[in-house]
Structure 1
Amino acid sequence: MESTHISALNTKHAGLERQIHEEMTRPAPDAAKIQALKRKKLRIKEEIALN
């Protein structure tokens, strides 16, 4: 059960990475949105590290 939770977190982390990349490659990236996505990604990374 624990590994499925970590797997789900890894999937979310990868999705956030993709969203950040997409936003950064737009003609006019939204810096606030990028920062919010990076914060979410960091929280997920920290949760993965704790498990």
Structure 2
Amino acid sequence: MQTSHLTALEAKHATLDRRISAEIKRPLPDQALLADLKRRKLRVKEEIAAI
């Protein structure tokens, strides 16, 4: 079970990373959205580190 949870967290982290990259590339990135995505990515990273 632990590995499936870790795999899911890593996939979520990668998805958030892609969304952040896509938002940064936009002509006028939404700073509030970027901040939220980065916050969520950090929480996932911390959860991965705790495993």
TM over 0.5: yes
Q: Secondary structure of 1:27's match? A: coil
Q: Which runs of 5+ in 1 are unaligned?
A: none
Match of 2:47 in 1: 47
Runs (4+) of structure 1 exceeding 4 A deviation are none
How many residues matched?
Answer: 51
Q: Which runs of 5+ in 2 are unaligned?
A: none
State the one-letter code of the partner of 2:42: L
1:12-43 CA-to-partner distances (Å, cap 9, x unmatched) read 00000000000000011001100000000000
Q: Among the aligned pairs, what percent are the same residue?
A: 53
